[in-house]
Structure 1
Amino acid sequence: MPRWLPRAIVLALALYSVFLLGSWAFHQLVGLLVNILLAFFLALAIEPAVGRMAARGMRRGLATFLVSFAVLIFSIGFVVLLGSMLAGQIVDMVENFPQYLDSLINWINQTFHTDLSRVEVQDSVLSSDWLQKYVQNSASGVLDVSATVLGGLFRLLTIFLFAFYFAADGPRLRRALCSVLPPARQTEVLRAWEIAVDKTGGYLYSRGLMALISGVAHFVLFEILGVPYAPALAVWVGLVSQFIPTIGTYLAGALPMLIAFTVNPWYALWVLGFVVVYQQFENYLLQPKLTSKTVDIHPAVAFGSVIAGTALLGVVGALIAIPAVATLQAFLGAYVKRYDVTDDPRVHGHRRYGEAVVARLQKALHHKKEKERAAAEDSSAE
């Protein structure tokens, strides 16, 4: 046996063990890493406001605290307002449930010529096995729901704390990062940081604009249908649909559907249809155009980045995909050498026949002048 073989085997086993340990640690910490990534983009989002306040003489830590506190208060107030509204609507639905059931039974009797009664339906439902099993499972799942809620609150607290530290100690963080890099690399890192702040701000601006458009469109629908709390519901739909990508519109539409059902069950179907149609309009027309202007990336790239981000990191990936891709594109664009494009209809798009003829004549005239100038230079040289 060669002398190096035992050492090679031991080294291979050691490397394999390190790989397994690293893989296990990564899977254990992937949730924390995602939270840190989301906190970093949140810090980039509030960086312009914090920077302006710090430039006016306010301490950076205090400025970060005020901005974060304002965001937190707005979020809590929004959730409390909508929660109280939802609770009131659920109480109304429970109180009016017998009336809804009577109207449904009357419609079934008239349409299908049956002879159902509310008492029979209630007795059959209450005595069914599936309802008893559902109640038992719901009772046992209360602890799971509580644990999920507490876990979500802890995750939000973690994200806010990391975002606060990233924003408050932004200059110190950049200084620490640049201290281990040569001067040329330091310039590139700082430029990338500025681009990330700019693109993240542009992304939030586009999301805010789309939230406004979505809120106005849904507000008009709610007013036409006579759905109560139309302004609050419009704000809910606008914010949730934009800041929870891909499925946000459907999630935001669930609450208006529930409240519309208390007015008229058919109104809930109208709301559902409008939500589906508006989602397609937003995904394929509105979002790509606004994103391409505010974040300066192609609509197809924006749409593809959201899909890729969702596949990689779920909702978090969809949320940060566009600013991340825009930052990467702007940063790498400085290293791409660009040239003048030839004057060709295949490059500049379709032109009318008259424009093409004029372009050819101008090109021929230019070549003729060049030949005459060259001939004049040759004759003068002789």
Structure 2
Amino acid sequence: MSEAPPKRDAVEAVTWPVRVAAAWTWRLLIIGVGLYYLAQAFLTIELVAFSFVLALFFTAVLHPLERRLRRILPGPPSIPAALALLIGLAVLAGIGWFVSWQITQHSTQLGDQVTAFVDKVKDWLQTGPLHLKSADLDKLSQQITDAVKNNKGTLISGAITTIRTVAEFLGALLLILLSTFFLLRDGEAIWQWTLRLFPRTAHARMDVAGRVGWRTLGGYMRGQVLIALFHGISVMIVLFVLRVPLAAALGVLIFLGSFIPLIGLTVTGSLSVAVALLEHGLTAALVVAIAIVVLIQLEAHLLQPFIMSRSVAVHPLAIALAVITGTTLAGIVGALLAVPLVAFLNSTVHALRETPPEPVGDADFPVKESPPPAEQRVEVEGSAAD
């Protein structure tokens, strides 16, 4: 009598690598879905979320100043926090006023240069390799004028949208100021409250990781200020040597644009090249362009490793991907926030991996001992009295 063939188990037939790949796949899918809904919730309160993140960045820059003021001015913590915030606002307001004043002083000269440049372009289109006729240029100008006239409703709705955007900007500015003040004044208490949102067993590790991430964020922001100052002063000196109008204002714009890696310096540098081209021609524009390229190389090979190496360890490819992703998702604001957020997450994850899951006696962070019960305290006090 022949034996029955052994039963085959389909689960046992699946190889171990395939099982591992399947386990990773469904877990990654769940994480991806969670991140998607988290991003949707973030976009729902986009204005509030971005305002609070910007407040965190301002706090990271102003925190050392607030600590020094707290040592100098004993008393309520509101005073040093308010003074640090006022100093930061004064610096930003001074920068804005200076740029506006420079543009106002040179607006007539720039207008004449733009008009002359348009005339040169028009003459080149007629006499250059394209050989466009004057009638074709007039027709093109008429089409642009008709497009503006036929889209007055669109322009008006755009103006209304601009007014709404200004109102949202003012609301966001107020939220940033309030958040920065309270973070400067009550930052430690807010952090302790945040820790209590997590399980008690995770408090120690979260505390270590959060503080490491905060130090990284502060180091990045302060290091970026130094790099931006170097860029702005260098370009301003080059523009002054070439006697380009708005040299100081363009230097300030270079300083502000340098806070957005890769993109900021390129955009503001292109503006400087355009102004140099309008004022002194192609040679001056080439000199400014070469200076900006040299600055980009200095930042990549000297400034970033020297200034940022102690606090930020992010690969240049990660920086490029973060900037492109942030720009795609949230425009200029996303590009501004992308790299510091990546640096914060990078240091936080490393700290979580390197911190032991349970605090031990010789750990790097303090371990609070639980107080003895009331009965033991009474016995101890009685024995002490004896």
For the aligned pair, the TM-score class normalised by the smaller chain equals 0.5 to 0.7
Tell me the residue number matched to 1:360: none
Residue of 213, 221, 224 corresponding to 2:230: 213
Tell me the residue number matched to 2:70: 54
Tell me the residue number matched to 2:17: none
1:35 aligns with 2:51: yes
Structure-to-structure mapping, 1:253-272, within 5 angstroms = 253-266=269-282, 269-270=285-286
Answer with 208-217 or 255-264: which moved more: 255-264
Tell me the residue number matched to 1:133: 147
Once residues 26 and 101 of structure 1 are traced to their aligned partners in structure 2, the CA distance between those partners, rounded to angstroms, is 45
Structure-to-structure mapping, 1:214-233, within 5 angstroms = 214-233=231-250
Once residues 121 and 265 of structure 1 are traced to their aligned partners in structure 2, the CA distance between those partners, rounded to angstroms, is 27
Once residues 247 and 104 of structure 1 are traced to their aligned partners in structure 2, the CA distance between those partners, rounded to angstroms, is 28
Q: Report how far residue 24 of structure 1 moved.
A: 7.2
User: CA 1:180–1:315 in structure 2 vs 1: closer, same or farther (change >3 Å)?
Assistant: closer
Once residues 296 and 177 of structure 1 are traced to their aligned partners in structure 2, the CA distance between those partners, rounded to angstroms, is 24
Runs of 4+ in 1 over 6 A off after TM superposition: 21-24, 113-117, 180-184
User: CA 1:180–1:42 in structure 2 vs 1: closer, same or farther (change >3 Å)?
Assistant: same
1:145 aligns with 2:162: yes
Tell me the residue number matched to 1:294: 310
Once residues 180 and 106 of structure 1 are traced to their aligned partners in structure 2, the CA distance between those partners, rounded to angstroms, is 68
Once residues 50 and 170 of structure 1 are traced to their aligned partners in structure 2, the CA distance between those partners, rounded to angstroms, is 11
User: CA 1:28–1:268 in structure 2 vs 1: closer, same or farther (change >3 Å)?
Assistant: farther
Letter of the structure 1 residue corresponding to residue 352 of structure 2: L
Tell me the residue number matched to 1:380: none
Instruction: Work out the percentage of aligned pairs sharing the same amino acid.
Output: 19
Answer with 90-99 or 205-214: which moved more: 90-99
1:71 aligns with 2:84: no
Q: Report how far residue 184 of structure 1 moved.
A: 6.7
CA contact (8 A) 1:89 1:259 kept: no
CA contact (8 A) 2:206 2:352 kept: no
User: CA 1:133–1:268 in structure 2 vs 1: closer, same or farther (change >3 Å)?
Assistant: farther
Tell me the residue number matched to 1:377: none
User: Could you report, residue by residue, the CA deviation over 1:236-274 in whole angstroms, capped at 9, with x for unpaired residues?
Assistant: 20x222223342113322542453244135368537744
Structure-to-structure mapping, 1:196-207, within 5 angstroms = 196-207=213-224
Root mean square deviation, CA, Å: 4.0
Higher relative contact order, chain-length normalized (CA < 8 Å, sep 6+)? 2
CA contact (8 A) 1:109 1:115 kept: yes
Tell me the residue number matched to 2:352: 332
CA contact (8 A) 1:45 1:204 kept: yes
1:243 aligns with 2:259: yes
CA contact (8 A) 2:276 2:288 kept: no
Once residues 56 and 261 of structure 2 are traced to their aligned partners in structure 1, the CA distance between those partners, rounded to angstroms, is 18
Q: Report how far residue 280 of structure 1 moved.
A: 5.2
Once residues 303 and 319 of structure 2 are traced to their aligned partners in structure 1, the CA distance between those partners, rounded to angstroms, is 8
Answer with 196-205 or 186-195: which moved more: 186-195
Tell me the residue number matched to 1:8: none
Structure-to-structure mapping, 1:50-129, within 5 angstroms = 50-56=66-72, 57-104=74-121, 111=128, 124=139, 126=141, 128-129=142-143
Once residues 62 and 225 of structure 1 are traced to their aligned partners in structure 2, the CA distance between those partners, rounded to angstroms, is 46
CA contact (8 A) 2:126 2:132 kept: yes
Letter of the structure 2 residue corresponding to residue 43 of structure 1: T
Q: Report how far residue 300 of structure 1 moved.
A: 4.4
User: Could you report, residue by residue, the CA deviation over 1:71-100 in whole angstroms, capped at 9, with x for unpaired residues?
Assistant: 112112211221232344443233455544
Name the SS for the 1:39 alignment partner: helix
Letter of the structure 2 residue corresponding to residue 130 of structure 1: I
User: Could you report, residue by residue, the CA deviation over 1:97-135 in whole angstroms, capped at 9, with x for unpaired residues?
Assistant: 554445445556665597978xx7985565x12223136
CA contact (8 A) 2:47 2:172 kept: no
Tell me the residue number matched to 1:277: 293
Q: Select the structure of larger CA radius of gyration.
A: 1
Once residues 189 and 167 of structure 2 are traced to their aligned partners in structure 1, the CA distance between those partners, rounded to angstroms, is 33
Once residues 109 and 41 of structure 1 are traced to their aligned partners in structure 2, the CA distance between those partners, rounded to angstroms, is 52
Once residues 255 and 124 of structure 1 are traced to their aligned partners in structure 2, the CA distance between those partners, rounded to angstroms, is 30
1:164 aligns with 2:184: no
CA contact (8 A) 2:314 2:343 kept: no
Structure 2: 5+ residue stretches without partners: 1-36, 358-386
